[in-house]
Amino acid sequence: MHFLNAGKAGPRVKCPRCGKTVYWDPSFPFRPFCSERCKLIDLGDWANEQHVITGEPLESGSPEDLWSISDSEP
């Protein structure tokens, strides 16, 4: 089995984008991804709202209304 950044110690994880196995090493700049390419593809998916975190919808209003609400709270 081929591991990216082989020779490193630490747990092995799968790239969330392509599934390749990589070592979880703090010095590896793309973790948890296997490469900059997979990292950027995933970022693009978030930017295009292909990935979302579900939650309650925001109240309708302008962004300025949200700032005034947060300023009034302690």
Residue whose structure tokens are 């591991």: 3
Instruction: Report residue 8's pLDDT band, with 50, 70 and 90 as the boundaries.
Output: low
Does 55 reside within a domain? no
d(CA 13, CA 25): 10
Does 27 reside within a domain? yes
> What residues make up the domain containing 22?
1-36
Measured from the Cβ of residue 47, the count of other Cβ atoms closer than 10 Å reads: 9
Does 56 reside within a domain? no
pTM above 0.85, yes or no: no
- Using only C-alpha atoms, what is the Rg of the chain? 19
What's the average model confidence in pLDDT over 33-51?
A: 95
Higher pLDDT, 69 or 27: 27
Does 70 reside within a domain? no
